[in-house]
Chain A
Amino acid sequence: MPERKEDGLLDKGLEGLSHNFVTGTLEELVKWARARSVMPATFGLACCAIEMMATGGAHYDLARYGMETFRASPRQADLMIVAGRVSQKMAPVLRQIHDQMMEPKWVISMGVCASSGGMFNNYAIVQGVDQVVPVDVYAPGCPPGPQTLMHAILTLHAKIRSGELTQRREVRGGGAEIQISQVDGQTDTGAVRLLKPTTKD
């Protein structure tokens, strides 16, 4: 039987490859593919789920990233967007669903309740889903609007693409824990404008 190398492909995945220009290109290709083929799993719990559905709607359109079909089966999904408050009763379910997802998998903690317990600092709510699953991006807001959720998703894509995500995970020993800021309704960034509704839309 061949000896298994400790730093080989089987143990450390892509990062275990010895780097030369062939494997470097391969790695870039894989990161490019991973960043562009993220499939989210349905894990909408509360108010944030409504905004997550709005992000998938026609106005904000998550379909431009190929992510509008939320996979009901966790086996088919790469990304779990924990949208809403996680109660004590739901925490084991969350863990079970996360465990069923195949590597590589990512977690976005959407909203303040998922990130830290939010306004519910009490007996009933898990104070941050990072106590249960490793989180890669924290999206603040109560609820974060579709623009913030998009920002979180695009940040995740960018970090997957650049490889920073896996580096952060190694450093932190869990999730990448990237924090973003809320970008809803701001008019001064120039990226978002409040439009008055017109019948011509």
Chain B
Amino acid sequence: MSDTEAEFADLIAQTSEESQGLSRGSGTDRLREMGAVLRLSEADAAALEGEAGDPDQTMIINMGPQHPSTHGVLRLMLELQGETVLRTKPIIGYLHAGMEKTGETLTYLQGATNVTRMDYASPLFNELAFALAVEQLLGVEVPVRATWIRMLMTEMNRIASHLLFLATNGMDLGAVSMMLFGWREREEVLRFFESVTGLRMNHNYIRPGGVAADLPDGWEEDVLALMDLIPPRLEEYDTLMTGQPIWRERLQGVGVITADEAIALGATGPILRSTGYAWDLRRDMPYLAYDELDFDVVVGSYGDAFDRYAIRLNEVRESMRLVRQIVEGMPSGDYRVQDKKVTPPPRARIDESMEALIHHFKLFTEGFQVPPGETYAAVESPRGELGCYIVSDGGAKPYRLRVRGPSFVNLQTLPHMMRGGLMADAVAVISSVDPIMGEVDR
């Protein structure tokens, strides 16, 4: 190279690299890190996949808490080996609202507003468990009509909750139109609730002593119209999902749990019944007036996600059967207990009677006193056994309010159901457990 050429070459080198701050070193020196490249031949990688249980090959992936398919704020730590799920840890607490602590600061009349927001897909069940526990402590007898109204409302709420399950289950597995169908039916049920309780959700309707208000005129026609509306739509779901090959492939054999495991883990509700174990509190330890009604307990056979789906679909049918019986057998009478110390007087009487005014005032400011004691009351919610344990110290507010949320205990079955399954089935399993994070975290 001549001088001028060398100079020229230098000049180019300067302007092109130095001016941009690039290094002038050789090839590999310019890279920040050699370790970023995975140097593994395809044959070697395939050989690695075959080895099972090698701890170096697992990875821990975090799913949630913000995730379209985790049914609320559930976080899962999944230990994966390739696509296979080995171990799982559900991490909860992202919706913890201190409801049990708040419950200690609210009177018994306000308590239903608090507990109703725990399982927000079936709020009337929370209210029912709370009311039953308080009535046990009070020692009051709820009038027959109130009992039957409670049964009607809770069975309709079971229908609404299972429709929500069908909708979200469908959407999670890809049948997005199921989401629209499920909400369509649910809107009709919520419309009925709005006409009775005034609210679509979180009704604060079932209170200790009875219910907040009587059923409106014409409720029988509304309910029976609903009962005529839903069965053909359930047939549509059967066509869309139950018999469909894709649906079956995705759910059958997925998330299997045995009866022993379910009982050992304390799982209740459709999870336990999907294993073939027929336990339903409404039949086996009846509350309200379920022993006077005729219904079947739906059980599965294989303990898989398909069974849980089918159980909930058929529980809608059973609930409709119950609702028809309730409509026919609804007794007349008071809708709440007539004990002046517990039940507020009718609003009209406040203008007439001083005593009524004083009772109203005391009940809504101070609340009614409940004798000291402790008790546990349980109901069969769409998710399992929903229990309420109250310790009373004789005052107007619970000393300790404990709600046994079924989803909290049912979530413990997730690791057992997911083990050995594929990552893509994790969504199907979570969906089949149907957790509501409000009652998990409270």
Contacts and interface: CB of A to CB of B under 8 A. Distances in A.
A/B touching: CB–CB < 8 A: yes
A45 B180 contact: no
A177 B196 CA distance: 35
B222 A197 contact: yes
A117 to B, nearest CB: 10
6 contacts: A47-B202, A54-B186, A57-B179, A124-B101, A185-B194, A201-B188
B94 to A, nearest CB: 4
Contact of B180 (A58, A87, A125): A58
B148 to A, nearest CB: 21
A89 interface: yes
A199 B183 contact: no
Interface string A104-142: 000000000100000110111100000000000000001
B73 interface: yes
Given A46-B72, A46-B438, A122-B102, A84 B187 contact: no
B286 interface: no
A143 B187 CA distance: 15
Given A50-B121, A194-B194, A197-B229, A93 B186 contact: no
B437 A46 contact: yes
A59 interface: yes
Interface in A49-72: 49-51, 53-54, 56-59, 70, 72
B350 interface: no
A48 B202 CA distance: 10
A41 B101 CA distance: 32
A125 B97 contact: yes
Nearest to A57: B183
Nearest to B441: A87
B419 to A, nearest CB: 26
A51 B97 CA distance: 19
B228 interface: yes
B180 A145 contact: no
B95 A45 contact: yes
Contacts of B96: 87-89, 124
Given A58-B180, A72-B68, A145-B200, A87 B97 contact: yes
A119 B95 contact: no
A197 B226 contact: yes
Given A57-B184, A125-B98, 20 more contacts: A45-B72, A45-B437, A46-B438, A54-B183, A54-B186, A57-B179, A87-B93, A87-B441, A88-B96, A89-B96, A90-B65, A93-B66, A122-B98, A122-B101, A123-B98, A124-B101, A142-B202, A143-B202, A194-B191, A194-B195
Interface in B218-243: 218, 222, 225-226, 228-229
A163 interface: no
A124 B442 CA distance: 10
A58 B179 CA distance: 9
B402 interface: no
B73 A45 contact: yes
Contacts of A84: 95
Interface of B: 65-68, 72-73, 93-99, 101-102, 113-114, 117, 120-121, 164, 167, 179-180, 183-184, 186-188, 190-192, 194-195, 198, 200-202, 218, 222, 225-226, 228-229, 437-438, 441
A124 B218 CA distance: 43
Given A46-B72, A197-B226, A97 B202 contact: no
A22 to B, nearest CB: 37
Contact of B187 (A47, A54, A93, A113): A54
A198 B180 CA distance: 19
B95 A85 contact: yes
Contacts of B222: 196-197
A162 to B, nearest CB: 31
Contact of A53 (B98, B183, B198): B183
B90 to A, nearest CB: 14
B225 A198 contact: yes
Scoring B120, B167, B188, B191 by chain A CB atoms within 10 A of each residue's CB, the highest score goes to B120
Interface in A147-186: 184-185
A111 to B, nearest CB: 11
A195 interface: yes
B95 A59 contact: no
Contact of A57 (B66, B68, B180): B180
A113 B183 CA distance: 24
B225 A47 contact: no
A46 B117 contact: yes
Contacts of B438: 46-47
Given A72-B67, A119-B114, A120-B99, A59 B184 contact: yes
Contacts of B66: 42-43, 93, 97
A93 B97 contact: no
Nearest to B98: A124
A14 to B, nearest CB: 30
B93 A89 contact: yes
Given A120-B99, A120-B102, A199-B225, A50 B184 contact: no
Nearest to B181: A58
A196 B114 CA distance: 30
